[in-house]
Structure 1
Amino acid sequence: MNTYSRRISYFLSGQHFSDGVRTTVSILLPALLLAQWGHFDLGLTISTGAVCVSVTDTPGPAAHRRNGMLAALGMVLVTSLLTSLAATSVWLLGLEVGLLSFGCTMLLVWGARAGAVGTAGLLNVVLMLAHPPALAEALPHAGLLLLGGLWYAGLAMVTYQVLPYRPAQQALGECIHALARFLELKAKFYNPATALDEDYRELVAQQVVVNEKQEAARDILFRTRQIVNETTSTGRRLVLTFVETVDLYERVTAGYYDYAAVRASFGQSGVLPYISTLIRHIATELDHLGVAIQANRPYEGTGPDLSDEWMRLQARISALDNEAESHTRVLKKILVNLRDIIRRIGNIRRYFDESLVKSAVPSRAAEHTRFVAHQEIEAQALSQNFTLKSSVFRHSVRMTVACLVAFVVAESLWHGQHNYWILMTVTIMLKPGFSLTRQRNQERIIGTLAGGALGAAILWALPWTEVRFGVLVVFMILAYSFQRTVYLATVIFLTAYLLIMFSFLGLSYIGVAEERITDTLIGCAIAFSAGYLLFPSWESEQLTDYMAAALKANLAYLRQLANRLAGRPLPPHEYRLLRKDVYVSGANLAAAFQRMLTEPKSKQHCPSETHEFVVLNHILSSNIAALTGTLREAAPAVPPFAAEGRRALTSAAAALQKSLTRIAPAAPESGPELPPTEPAVPADADDKSLLEQLVFLQKVSGDIGKVTEVLVK
């Protein structure tokens, strides 16, 4: 299976495609069935209820998805009745738009799923503006919307009951796929033809993706009672495989070396391409495993034997010039790391062997729940955020103003048949951060133009009704499958299928296309202006918080290393919690940096130095992980810890604490607990290697300190 076919397999067996098919069925079926009986308008209303509730059905545990859909049902019912009452006066409609846009957006204080409930309510209001029901029809109309929402929610819950493990398998497969891509990028560091700065930029960007996928898998696995209690073979295999995957990610990130020096020393030896090839083959094997887990099918390895390939690489390194042992020591470290990665991939393959996990395993539900964040729905959180210091409050005010402007423009200045598209565009395009608002606006405009051209081409080239309907169904599935991953693709297919749908209703597709493009341009202009002018949220203003979080996490990570060197034990789950904090804080920092690069250059603060800080933070955590991994494998014996090593570790901790104090002056002093000085002992090769690694930690920490001096100016 080549790369292209693997990507197709991941897409077709993934959760987003499943959600796209379910959303398409829930929308199309009511409209088609009732159209056969001459009640297409009633079917369309039911489909509208299904669309609104589907907004809250985002990936996550089945219980959370159910609660979100139930809340959306209540929101759809309330907004439907309010809109029917307000439709008697344009002034009342404007008042409703202003109040609901603010109130629904404020639901973000309780998390993304609660925010999706607010979005469902706003979407229902906007869609009702096309043809507001008469006051006498308010209750029947609300009942039809509620029926549509119940239809979607029921279909979704039946799916979860019939296939309870599919969301977890899909999330785990996507997690492994992202890790395989991360490993594939690591292979580029052994290619002298690539630029290291660009390699690091790609690697850090993929680190963000890996963290997102791990958090999504962790959320589903550790919040699903049937899985976390490990009552079944499938549940145990999912949990054990995920834990092994995170450990594998640690080994991959721990494999950091001075790549510039490696290229300079061994670029002419011819061994680096073989290292790069082996890493790519390992990534391919991992990718195949991810596809098999996500698709829930048996796995049979078809690629080269990784152990044999590793042994051939070992022979090539041994055959290098007969110089001192230190000359090829770094290559031997790479070999050891690759051997461990291959071994762990072998452990992941055990997922397909049920006999290895059928024996009873004690439940670790209490331990697992410590790895997921808990957010309670507290009423006081809403009142506490009624301040301009709250980003949610500022975004709610921004949304209110933008929606009111869009409503006034649609009612007063632009009288298109579907002028509610302006307000819909604003509610979808305006995001809490300007960078995402700008990106969405660009994708919306480009996608609308491309989708309009695609839809027009389909209608011009395919005059057959049945064929057009088939294309419509395919475009709907693709539009709803990509809505959370590739927004540009969603807009393209959504615009195209809307043109085809309106052609079935007897409307001129050219006129519809012109109106949609005009409405999109107006709505995007309003959303962009609101995001830029009204309480703008610039990433550069928040980067110091992410930097401080990353430094705190690395300080705690360094503390556990110092304790391990002192011979103090560290429970595995405590270590994994520290490691998770490092990964999450590093990924959040990298994501914020990427968002900053999409903002106007005048709003970017020291982009070069910030990128250097992100890379150094990644290098620091990678080297701490490498040292910790070596010491954990050496347990219970601990290498001698000489005074030079202690001084290096103390200096590294002091430099990090100083950097943290510069960035966040209010941060408490919390340097790592260091072991006492040991008597000097004769150093062998392993001791020298340990000392070199500790000195390197000192150097990287010092480099971080130099960068922070520039950043705080």
Structure 2
Amino acid sequence: MNRQLQKFLESTDFIRAVKVAIAAATPVILFSYLDLFSIGFTIALGALFTFISDIPGNLRHRINGMLASNLIATGSTVIVSLATVNHWIFYPVLILLVFFLSMIAVYGHRATLVSFSGLLAMSLSFAHSYTGWDLLEHAGLMIAGGLFYLCISMTFHYIRPYRYAELQMAECILLTARYLKLRGKLWDAHANRDKITEKLLTLQIELNDIHEKLRETLIRNRTKSGSSNQNRRLLIAHIELEEILELAMATSFDYEKLHQAFGKYSYVLNAYQHLAYNLAALLNQLGQSVEKGKKYTSEHRPYKELESFKKAIDRYEAEAGLSSSGTSEEVLMLINMFNYVEKQVEKIKVVEYTFTPAVKPKELKRGDRELEKLLTLHHYSPITLTQNLSFSSTIFRHSLRLTLTVLAGFLIGNILTIQNTYWILLTIVVIMRPGYGLTKQRSYHRTIGTLAGGAIAFGIISIVHNTTILGILAMTCMVLGFSFTQRNYPIAATFITLYVIFVYGMLSPDIQDVILFRITDTLIGTVLAFSANHFLWPSWEFLSLPTFLEDSIKATRDYIREISVFYNKKGEVPLSYPLARKHAFIETGNLMASFQRMTQEPKSRQKQLRQFYTLVVLNHALLSSAASLGAFIQSRKTTKASEAFNAITNAIIKNLDNAAALLTEGQKIPVDTETRKMLNLRFTELKAIREKEIRASNGVHDDTFKLKMEESQLVIQHLIGLTNLSENIEKAVREIQKNR
């Protein structure tokens, strides 16, 4: 409990909530004492709108995002206030403003928050209209509030400049530990592997997101501000953690076959599983240490566990009566497992050393320019906006949907003479999302939170009438509400409702009516938002899932191509390799996220759900198999790539090209029976080369011979796995296309 509390108090969400609470409360309290509450409240609004886009990331992007939020929120308020003067121009201005603010989201996540800030300001501007000098004063105070929040945010940043990166790193290490532990559970004889695979896919989405955040923060900090010792340590740890993830995916075997082969020698698999759990525990301890900001002292001895696994392999060879030549398939399989986990131990120790102050961090192999290529570029060109002005764009459809819903909410509020029409608009803006599933979830959570908050507030207001106590409660609820927005939306909605009602309780005597209006307006806004997402150009996931699948197949294909190029050229791993790996991981995560959204939609819209899930799992297995081959050739001094190897790799790439082309509307690819025949000949050729080398050895099995035999056997196994998976993916895509 103490650890969870400490984690919460040091979390980015809580720190952000504290910053906005300070920025909002300070002017309100100060100007209230001067009997100028309205000035303090306006400054607090400016701080709130600026806070919304203050998400972690590169410092320059953070500052630009906050300034953009401040200016767009202020501009939206001014535009609405000017438009209300003339009813003839009001509705066209409202429609264009909401549509434009919504379309800003095409520029990425930070831009989406800037858009949200503008939409919130637009909604709240209906609470009070300003004209003339009052409007200029109001706009100036909002800008001042935004700049005040910016100063507070920068103060927090410079007090602990690397704390966000450390917390993200800690989370990354902890998630990687969970990933390794789940991988370890796959080795249980009676494990529910389908369920574990589903959890691994979900976890990979989180890991992709956190790796992207770390790249953005650490690489940009290095290239823009120079390389500090702490930034270098964190960047090295991040690079190693990406490779640990690749190695974890590489340890993907035929578990049924393994348990059959080693059924009488279960101690071998148990030793491997125990080692995997030990590595997960080591990373978990390290992650907690980084999270708490405490000195790390390792309690685990992975090299000792590695030695135990090696002894288990030797014992198996002795008891099974196998030769130690390494030519038997079972021994080669065990040696392969040992090599992977040995490499993983080495990389985990590097991560461990980076958080040991006494150890000097190693220098990065790649320069700043190369590292920058690993970043995801954001294009803010007007062309990006114009390219999305069509119904094929999810953001365009969402913008139209939101515009019409806001207009409907405004008209309903005026027709029914609702006291606070802007609450309906706020509810619509907060709830509506491009996807049906998230809007449905938010609608439900918002309703529950508002009802719970209203009920609790009613009970407290009935007893407590002291404005000081209500003020303290309002501030507490504000901090907790913003802290839980990303973690638990129903709880966040409950605390935000409490905060709003307590503020009104300090200002208005008829608070019971306020609670009733708040609940009524929220319900109206929720019904409108949910209905609009269901009936107005809905973005059903089954329509976009094939695109995500195509992108994932292409990214994995490019990764396999890079592995093949490296196997042929040898030498240092080129930058194109980690770039291809990064894209393959990200696109596989995007595919799984799209599938998860599909499962939240109505049953009637979950078309070919089982077939798509099969493809999601097959694509993940393909990525794991590719990572396995890539990790193998990186960790060994390999022989020259044969023509047969290249022919088989090209056939695998061709299968994936066919699958991607089949997903592109209108393309028909005939079934290629000749390729399969050619592959069989090539596999026969590879096996013949191996047998020839065995005969040529004349029974002399030295270390060089063993390494050659391991390489040929394992490469053949990887190629067989990749070939079967690529063929199954093409076959599954054909089935989907046939039934569409």
Fold shared, TM-score > 0.5 on shorter chain: yes
Q: What corresponds to 2:500 in structure 1?
A: 498
Q: Relative to 1, partners in 2 of residues 1:434 and 1:194: Cα closer, same or farther, differing over 3 Å? A: same
Shift of 1:463: 7.8
Q: What corresponds to 1:250 in structure 2?
A: 246
- Of 130, 135, 139, which residue of structure 2 is paired with 1:133? 130
Shift of 1:104: 0.8
Asked if the contact 2:296/2:356 (under 8 Å) is kept, the reply is: no
**Any idea what SS the aligned residue of 1:242 has?**
helix
Equivalent runs, 1:129-278 vs 2, <5 Å: 129-224=126-221, 226=222, 230-263=226-259, 271=267, 275-278=272-275
- Of 300, 305, 311, which residue of structure 1 is paired with 2:301? 305
1:682 has 2:693 as partner:
yes
- CA offsets 1:430-487 (integer angstroms, 9 cap, x no match): 1122222222222222222333344445556878876665554333222212323433
- CA offsets 1:685-710 (integer angstroms, 9 cap, x no match): 54223212211111111221221112
- CA offsets 1:594-621 (integer angstroms, 9 cap, x no match): 1111111211221111111111111111
Equivalent runs, 1:72-151 vs 2, <5 Å: 72-88=69-85, 93-151=90-148
Q: What is the CA–CA distance in structure 1 between the aligned matches of 2:53 and 2:646, rounded to whole Å?
A: 53
Q: What corresponds to 2:287 in structure 1?
A: 290
- Of 389, 414, 419, which residue of structure 2 is paired with 1:386? 389
Q: Relative to 1, partners in 2 of residues 1:186 and 1:461: Cα closer, same or farther, differing over 3 Å? A: farther
1:691 has 2:716 as partner:
yes
1:598 has 2:600 as partner:
yes
Q: What corresponds to 1:410 in structure 2?
A: 413
1:423 has 2:431 as partner:
no
Asked if the contact 1:403/1:426 (under 8 Å) is kept, the reply is: yes
Q: What corresponds to 1:711 in structure 2?
A: 736
Q: What is the CA–CA distance in structure 1 between the aligned matches of 2:509 and 2:271, rounded to whole Å?
A: 61
Q: What corresponds to 2:726 in structure 1?
A: 701
Q: Which stretch of structure 1 is more off in the superposition, 587-596 or 150-159?
A: 150-159
**Any idea what SS the aligned residue of 1:566 has?**
helix
Q: Which stretch of structure 1 is more off in the superposition, 359-368 or 588-597?
A: 359-368
Q: What is the CA–CA distance in structure 2 between the aligned matches of 1:109 and 1:352, rounded to whole Å?
A: 38
- CA offsets 1:138-180 (integer angstroms, 9 cap, x no match): 1111122111111111211233334332332233222223222
Q: What is the CA–CA distance in structure 2 between the aligned matches of 1:351 and 1:23, rounded to whole Å?
A: 34
Q: What corresponds to 2:372 in structure 1?
A: 369
Shift of 1:120: 1.6
Q: Relative to 1, partners in 2 of residues 1:512 and 1:345: Cα closer, same or farther, differing over 3 Å? A: farther
Asked if the contact 1:9/1:291 (under 8 Å) is kept, the reply is: no
TM-score (norm 1): 0.90
Q: What corresponds to 1:21 in structure 2?
A: 18
* Counterpart code for 1:519: D
* Counterpart code for 2:613: H
Q: Relative to 1, partners in 2 of residues 1:518 and 1:260: Cα closer, same or farther, differing over 3 Å? A: farther
Count matched residues.
Answer: 702
- Of 347, 350, 353, which residue of structure 1 is paired with 2:353? 350
* Counterpart code for 1:44: F
**Any idea what SS the aligned residue of 1:712 has?**
helix
- CA offsets 1:225-257 (integer angstroms, 9 cap, x no match): x46665321121121111111111111111111
* Counterpart code for 1:662: L
* Counterpart code for 1:629: A
Q: What corresponds to 2:518 in structure 1?
A: 516
* Counterpart code for 1:250: E
Asked if the contact 1:233/1:354 (under 8 Å) is kept, the reply is: no
* Structure 1 residues without counterparts, runs of 5 or longer: none
Q: What is the CA–CA distance in structure 1 between the aligned matches of 2:234 and 2:451, rounded to whole Å?
A: 43
Asked if the contact 1:649/1:695 (under 8 Å) is kept, the reply is: no
Asked if the contact 1:227/1:239 (under 8 Å) is kept, the reply is: no
Q: Relative to 1, partners in 2 of residues 1:206 and 1:144: Cα closer, same or farther, differing over 3 Å? A: same
Q: Relative to 1, partners in 2 of residues 1:447 and 1:298: Cα closer, same or farther, differing over 3 Å? A: same
Q: Relative to 1, partners in 2 of residues 1:578 and 1:117: Cα closer, same or farther, differing over 3 Å? A: same
* TM-align CA RMSD: 3.1
Asked if the contact 2:332/2:714 (under 8 Å) is kept, the reply is: no
Q: What is the CA–CA distance in structure 1 between the aligned matches of 2:259 and 2:523, rounded to whole Å?
A: 50
Q: What is the CA–CA distance in structure 2 between the aligned matches of 1:619 and 1:88, rounded to whole Å?
A: 62
Q: What is the CA–CA distance in structure 1 between the aligned matches of 2:360 and 2:200, rounded to whole Å?
A: 34
Q: What corresponds to 1:480 in structure 2?
A: 482
Asked if the contact 2:431/2:442 (under 8 Å) is kept, the reply is: yes
Asked if the contact 2:343/2:635 (under 8 Å) is kept, the reply is: no
Q: What is the CA–CA distance in structure 1 between the aligned matches of 2:366 and 2:626, rounded to whole Å?
A: 31
Equivalent runs, 1:40-51 vs 2, <5 Å: 40-51=37-48
Q: What is the CA–CA distance in structure 2 between the aligned matches of 1:315 and 1:474, rounded to whole Å?
A: 58
Asked if the contact 2:30/2:40 (under 8 Å) is kept, the reply is: yes
Shift of 1:583: 0.6
Q: Relative to 1, partners in 2 of residues 1:252 and 1:702: Cα closer, same or farther, differing over 3 Å? A: same
Q: Which stretch of structure 1 is more off in the superposition, 272-281 or 460-469?
A: 460-469
Q: Relative to 1, partners in 2 of residues 1:508 and 1:274: Cα closer, same or farther, differing over 3 Å? A: farther
Q: What corresponds to 2:639 in structure 1?
A: 638
Q: Which stretch of structure 1 is more off in the superposition, 423-432 or 270-279?
A: 270-279
Equivalent runs, 1:613-632 vs 2, <5 Å: 613-632=615-634
Q: What is the CA–CA distance in structure 1 between the aligned matches of 2:291 and 2:227, rounded to whole Å?
A: 21
* Counterpart code for 2:253: Y
Q: What is the CA–CA distance in structure 2 between the aligned matches of 1:548 and 1:245, rounded to whole Å?
A: 27
Q: Relative to 1, partners in 2 of residues 1:380 and 1:618: Cα closer, same or farther, differing over 3 Å? A: closer
* Structure 2 residues without counterparts, runs of 5 or longer: 323-327, 670-674, 695-708
Asked if the contact 1:228/1:239 (under 8 Å) is kept, the reply is: no
**Any idea what SS the aligned residue of 2:97 has?**
helix
Q: Which stretch of structure 1 is more off in the superposition, 14-23 or 127-136?
A: 127-136
Q: Relative to 1, partners in 2 of residues 1:305 and 1:568: Cα closer, same or farther, differing over 3 Å? A: closer
* Counterpart code for 2:213: A
Q: What is the CA–CA distance in structure 1 between the aligned matches of 2:364 and 2:553, rounded to whole Å?
A: 37
Q: Which stretch of structure 1 is more off in the superposition, 30-39 or 276-285?
A: 276-285
Q: Relative to 1, partners in 2 of residues 1:456 and 1:266: Cα closer, same or farther, differing over 3 Å? A: farther
Shift of 1:366: 0.6
Q: Percent same amino acid among aligned pairs?
A: 28
Q: What corresponds to 1:664 in structure 2?
A: 664
Q: What is the CA–CA distance in structure 2 between the aligned matches of 1:701 and 1:665, rounded to whole Å?
A: 20
Asked if the contact 1:97/1:403 (under 8 Å) is kept, the reply is: no
Asked if the contact 1:540/1:605 (under 8 Å) is kept, the reply is: yes
Shift of 1:589: 0.7
Q: Relative to 1, partners in 2 of residues 1:187 and 1:492: Cα closer, same or farther, differing over 3 Å? A: farther
Q: What is the CA–CA distance in structure 1 between the aligned matches of 2:354 and 2:618, rounded to whole Å?
A: 35
Structure of higher CA gyration radius: 2
Asked if the contact 2:662/2:668 (under 8 Å) is kept, the reply is: no
- CA offsets 1:563-589 (integer angstroms, 9 cap, x no match): 344345463322111111111111111
Q: What is the CA–CA distance in structure 2 between the aligned matches of 1:189 and 1:262, rounded to whole Å?
A: 11
Q: Relative to 1, partners in 2 of residues 1:700 and 1:124: Cα closer, same or farther, differing over 3 Å? A: same
Q: What is the CA–CA distance in structure 1 between the aligned matches of 2:92 and 2:230, rounded to whole Å?
A: 53
